[in-house]
Amino acid sequence: MMKNAARSKSLLHKPRFAILLSLLLLPLSGWTQLNVYFLNVGQGDATYIELPGGSNVLIDGGPSSLPVREFLMAKGVRRIDHVVLTHPHSDHYRGLKKVLQYFEVKNFYDTRVENLGAIGDNNLRELAAAQAAKVHFPEVGQHMNWDRNVTVKVLNTCSEVIQTRDSTRINNCSLVMRFYYNGTGLLLTGDIEASQENAITRVFKSGLESQILKVSHHGSAYSSTPRFLERVKPVHAIISYGVGNNYGHPHADALLRLQAAGATVYGTQDGNLLMTIPPPGSPKGIDVAPLPFAITPVSAEELASEPVTMPESQALEQLLNSPLR
């Protein structure tokens, strides 16, 4: 060892070796942060991720093509390495149609759930095949080899064929993925409901912990159970929804449970939200920008004093109208 170290030391003084060494170190200096953009697509979901190694990922496309297309074009994106459809509901797949038509997509990830109440999802699969994107049906527990410094694990999906119109069954088939980079977890839950959150909790236990949580099912009352949140331990919780939607998303109960779990809750209703996980060695923590979209739920005192007696509609009103921070 000593001999090798001495030899290396002497080699360092030779310029040619110094050049070679700097080339070898290039990938390290190329390390950068992980950027995740929660896009304002109205009542739906679309998340764009830039991985530190340079690959990009789009998870769902929202209910219409314009917001996602405009975002990608403004960023100068022409090629997407990984496009994921979490489940075949229109608020997730419709916006992907134009993405598959006008952008070069390398890989397309899907479930094997067939929504008998929709035909648009099948068009999407045909478009993916037509542009020679590799189509994948990941399995639960599978690791996606997307970036050598980021662990990406599939925590939920339906990789067996299921044909149904049942909305809850389709939601519970959502591809759920956890990204882990530089000690920070990012959990993207699609539209899974309470029963599936429980199922995941039983299997993955401590492997769920994630500072950043993309809240399931647009902040529905039937997701974000206390038990699930206890395992995830979210610090930043993001809800993707459109103002004035017909579903009452986000629901006051879900907001209160997120707050009780210690999370700061953000919504995409007014604009895109960027969160950044810094590279190793950086003194910075998770960066959130811009801030104006944070939903400030009721204060801890109010939560403790009257979380049950307050009518849901009034609680929701209060949560959404409280001052921004």
Residues that bind Zn ion in the complex, under the rule CB under 5 A: 91, 191
Relative orientation angle of helices 312-321 and 252-260, to the nearest 10 degrees: 60
Minimal distance in Å, beta carbon 218 to Zn ion? Answer: 6
CB of 86 to Zn ion, least distance (A): 8
Tokens of 103: 């952008």
Give the single-character DSSP code of 200. H
Q: Which amino acid is at 64?
A: S
Cβ neighbours around 221 below 10 Å, total: 19
CB of 205 to Zn ion, least distance (A): 26
> 100-116 burial string, b = 16+ CB within 10 Å, else e?
beebebebbbbbebbbe
Cβ closest to Zn ion, residue 91 vs residue 193: 91
Residue nearer to Zn ion on the CB measure, 137 or 247: 247
18: CB partners within 8 A, 6+ apart: 12
Least distance in Å: CB of 216 to Zn ion? 9
Residues 173, 162 contacting (CB under 8 angstroms): yes
Q: Which is nearer to Zn ion, 61 or 278 (CB)?
A: 61
The residue (of 91 and 197) whose beta carbon lies closer to Zn ion is 91
Give the Cβ contact number of residue 273 at 10 Å. Answer: 24
User: Least distance from C-beta 287 to Zn ion, angstroms?
Assistant: 27
Minimum distance of Zn ion from residue 305's CB (angstroms): 33
> φ and ψ at 139, to 5 degrees?
-105, 155
Contact 69, 96 (CB under 8 A): no
CB 123 within 8 A of CB 148: no
| CB nearer to Zn ion: pick between 52 and 219 | 219
Q: Which residue lies nearer to Zn ion by CB, 41 or 286?
A: 41
In the complex, what is the shortest distance from the CB of residue 263 to Zn ion, in angstroms, rounded to a whole number? 20
Pairing relationship of beta strands 294-295 and 264-267 according to DSSP bridges: antiparallel
